[in-house]
C-alpha cells in the first residue's frame, strides 16, 4: 500500500467530506513546481488557487518566516507589534484607500466589508442621508463561504443547504448596466463587484459596468466594494484589477496571495467609510499577526524588487497569445478570457474540460476547472515563457487527440475573444 492510499483511507474516515481531492500527495515545492512523494515534478499553473504568487520555497518568504518566527508569531490585537502599520501603509498606497483591517482569509475580509457597509449606512442615516441595508452582488459572483459572504455568492449550491443565509442580497446580471440601474436604489448600502470574476469563470467586468456601479453608489452614498481577493496584489499586472479601468472603490478586500501562503486577509476602506467603525465593534484573535504581516511585507518587497507587476503583464500577454493560438486551432475552444496571469479558456463541454484537466495531470501539469467548462490558469507570478510553452504544447496535444475537436474551425465567427 502506498502512502497515498493509506492517507486516502484515513481521511475518508476522519475528515468532514468537504473536498474531492485529486489523487496526488505532495511533499515539497520548488519555484513553479510541486514535488510528489516519488520525486515527480509537477508544473503548477494553479499555485494553491492563486495563493503562492512567489511560487514555492522562495528565499524571501523562507527568510521572513524564519526570522519572524524566532521573534514573535502571535500576540493578539490587544498590543502593538511592528507589522500592521507598515503593511497598512503599503496596502493603502497600493489600493488608493486610507485604512486597513486585517483578518485571516478572504471570506473574513468580505464579512468585514459587509459589516462596515451596514454600519456606514446607519451612520449616514444619522447624518440625514437615506441608505437602506440591501446589497447588490453579481451573477456568477464568488465572495466566500461564511453566512454573509455566501449570501452574496451567486451559485445556489453554495447557499441553499444553509438557508437562511444573510438576507437582503439581490443579484444583478453580469455587465448589464440597465439591470444594475433597475435594481439600484437608496435601499442599497453597497454594491459588491469583482473587477475580474474568478470562480465564476474568469470574466472581466466591462469598464462601462464598473463606471456605472461607481457613479450610482456615489450618487446615494452607498459603498462600492471591490473584491480583489483573487485578482489583487499583482495577479493582473496591477496591484488591483479595478486600476485597469481607473475606478476607485470605497472598499477593497485582499487575501489569497497577500502573505505568499501564510493565511492573511485585509479589508481596506476610505477615511469616510472608516468613521463607521469604533473600538469593540469588530475584531479577530489571529488577524494581522506578526508572522503574517512580516511575510506579506516580504512578498510586497519582492514583487517590487523583482519587477513582478511588469513581469506578470509580459508573461501573461505571452500566455494569452498562446491561448488564442489554441483557440484558432481547436473549434472546441469557444472563448479566451482574462488579464495578466488570471487567464482562462472556455471549452465546448464540461466533459472535455474535465478530460483536459485530468490529461494535463497525467502529463504532470496542474490546472483547474471552474464553472464546469472553463479551464483556469492562476500560475505563480514568477512563471516564465518556457513554462507557458510546456503547458500549451501539452494542451494542444490533448485537444488534438479529441475526436470532436480535430477539425480546425475557421477563426471568424466561431471564436469570441473577450478581454
Stretch that binds ligand PLP, among 53-61, 141-149, 370-378, 399-407 (CB under 6 A): 141-149
Among 81, 91, 95, 227, binds ligand PLP (CB under 6 A): 227
Cα distances from 399 to residues 307, 328, 394, in angstroms, run: 34, 12, 9
Contact flag: residue 158 with ligand PLP (CB under 6 A): no
Q: CA angle 221-112-298, nearest 5°?
A: 115
Side-chain half-sphere exposure of 277, counting CA atoms within 13 A:
22
Cα distances from 132 to residues 115, 119, 152, 180, 216, in angstroms, run: 13, 11, 16, 16, 14
C-alpha to C-alpha distance for 291 and 272, rounded to whole angstroms: 30
C-alpha to C-alpha distance for 165 and 356, rounded to whole angstroms: 35
Q: Cα 154 vs. chain centroid, distance in angstroms?
A: 15
Q: Least distance from C-beta 351 to ligand PLP, angstroms? A: 25
CB 372 within 8 A of CB 344: no
Contact flag: residue 229 with ligand PLP (CB under 6 A): yes
Grid coordinates 449616514 are at which residue? 124
Q: Least distance from C-beta 109 to ligand PLP, angstroms? A: 8
Quickly count: other Cβ atoms within 10 Å of residue 237's Cβ: 23
Among 33, 135, 142, 174, binds ligand PLP (CB under 6 A): 142
Stretch that binds ligand PLP, among 130-138, 192-200, 297-305, 344-352 (CB under 6 A): 192-200
Strands (E), 90-168: 99-103, 134-138
Contact flag: residue 203 with ligand PLP (CB under 6 A): no
C-alpha to C-alpha distance for 219 and 157, rounded to whole angstroms: 34
Contact flag: residue 144 with ligand PLP (CB under 6 A): yes
Contact flag: residue 377 with ligand PLP (CB under 6 A): no
Contact flag: residue 105 with ligand PLP (CB under 6 A): yes
Query: For ligand PLP, how many residues bind (rule: CB under 6 A)?
Result: 15
Stretch that binds ligand PLP, among 38-46, 139-147, 206-214, 267-275 (CB under 6 A): 139-147
Q: Least distance from C-beta 389 to ligand PLP, angstroms? A: 27
C-alpha to C-alpha distance for 169 and 182, rounded to whole angstroms: 15
Q: Least distance from C-beta 229 to ligand PLP, angstroms? A: 4
Contact flag: residue 249 with ligand PLP (CB under 6 A): no
Write the secondary structure of 244-281 as one string of H (helix), E (strand) and C (coil). Answer: HHCCCCCEEEECCCCCECECCEEEEECHHHHCCCCCCC
Q: What 3-state DSSP class applies to 204?
A: strand
Q: Least distance from C-beta 245 to ligand PLP, angstroms? A: 17
Stretch that binds ligand PLP, among 35-43, 194-202, 277-285, 318-326 (CB under 6 A): 194-202
Among 198, 221, 257, 290, binds ligand PLP (CB under 6 A): 198
CB 203 within 8 A of CB 197: yes
413 grid coordinates: 465567427
Among 111, 194, 250, 335, binds ligand PLP (CB under 6 A): 194
**DSSP conformational letter for 244:** G
Q: Pick the closer one to ligand PLP by CB: 97 or 195.
A: 195
Q: Which single residue brings its beta carbon nearest to ligand PLP?
A: 106
Q: Least distance from C-beta 370 to ligand PLP, angstroms? A: 10
Q: Pick the closer one to ligand PLP by CB: 332 or 378.
A: 378
Closest C-alpha among 209, 18, 227, 4 to residue 111: 227
Q: Pick the closer one to ligand PLP by CB: 110 or 175.
A: 110
Q: Pick the closer one to ligand PLP by CB: 47 or 230.
A: 230
**Contacts to ligand PLP by CB under 6 A:** 105-107, 110, 142-144, 194, 198-199, 227, 229-230, 255-256
Amino acid at each position: 500500500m502506498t502512502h497515498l492510499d493509506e492517507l486516502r483511507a484515513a481521511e475518508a474516515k476522519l475528515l468532514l467530506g468537504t473536498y474531492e481531492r485529486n489523487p496526488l500527495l505532495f511533499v515539497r515545492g520548488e519555484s513553479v513546481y510541486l514535488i510528489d512523494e516519488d520525486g515527480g515534478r509537477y508544473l503548477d499553473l494553479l499555485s494553491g488557487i492563486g495563493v503562492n504568487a512567489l511560487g514555492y520555497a522562495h528565499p524571501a518568504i523562507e527568510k521572513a518566516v524564519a526570522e519572524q518566527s524566532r521573534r514573535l508569531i502571535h500576540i493578539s490585537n490587544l498590543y502593538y507589534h511592528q507589522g500592521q502599520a507598515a503593511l497598512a501603509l503599503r496596502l493603502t498606497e497600493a489600493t488608493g484607500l486610507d485604512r486597513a483591517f486585517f483578518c485571516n482569509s478572504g471570506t473574513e475580509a468580505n464579512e468585514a466589508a459587509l459589516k462596515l457597509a451596514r454600519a456606514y449606512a446607519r451612520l449616514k442615516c444619522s447624518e440625514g442621508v437615506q441608505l437602506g441595508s440591501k446589497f447588490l452582488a453579481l451573477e456568477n459572483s464568488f465572495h466566500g463561504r461564511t453566512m454573509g459572504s455566501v449570501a452574496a455568492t451567486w451559485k445556489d449550491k453554495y447557499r441553499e443547504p444553509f438557508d437562511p443565509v444573510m438576507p437582503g442580497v439581490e443579484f444583478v446580471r453580469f455587465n448589464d448596466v440597465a439591470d444594475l440601474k433597475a435594481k439600484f436604489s437608496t435601499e442599497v448600502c453597497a454594491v459588491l463587484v469583482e473587477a475580474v470574476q474568478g470562480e465564476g469563470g474568469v470574466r472581466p467586468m466591462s469598464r462601462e459596468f464598473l463606471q456605472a456601479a461607481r457613479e450610482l453608489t456615489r450618487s446615494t452614498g452607498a459603498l462600492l466594494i471591490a473584491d480583489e481577493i483573487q485578482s489583487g496584489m499583482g495577479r493582473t499586472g496591477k496591484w488591483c484589477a479595478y486600476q485597469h479601468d481607473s475606478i476607485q472603490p470605497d472598499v477593497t478586500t485582499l487575501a489569497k496571495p497577500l502573505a505568499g501562503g501564510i493565511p492573511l486577509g485585509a479589508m481596506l476602506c476610505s477615511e469616510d467609510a472608516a468613521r463607521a467603525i469604533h473600538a469593540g465593534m469588530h475584531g479577530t484573535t489571529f488577524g494581522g499577526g506578526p508572522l503574517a504581516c512580516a511575510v506579506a511585507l516580504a512578498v510586497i518587497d519582492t514583487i517590487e524588487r523583482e519587477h513582478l507587476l511588469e513581469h506578470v503583464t509580459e508573461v501573461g500577454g505571452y500566455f494569452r497569445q498562446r491561448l488564442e493560438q489554441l483557440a484558432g486551432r481547436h473549434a472546441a475552444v469557444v472563448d479566451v478570457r482574462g488579464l495578466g496571469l488570471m487567464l482562462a479558456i472556455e471549452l465546448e463541454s464540461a466533459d472535455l474540460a474535465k478530460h483536459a484537466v485530468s490529461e494535463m495531470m497525467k502529463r504532470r501539469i496542474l490546472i483547474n476547472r471552474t464553472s464546469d467548462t472553463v479551464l483556469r490558469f492562476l500560475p505563480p507570478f514568477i512563471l516564465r515563457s518556457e513554462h507557458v510553452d510546456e503547458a500549451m504544447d501539452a494542451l494542444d496535444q490533448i485537444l488534438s487527440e479529441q475526436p470532436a475537436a480535430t477539425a480546425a474551425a475557421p477563426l471568424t465567427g466561431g471564436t469570441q475573444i473577450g478581454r
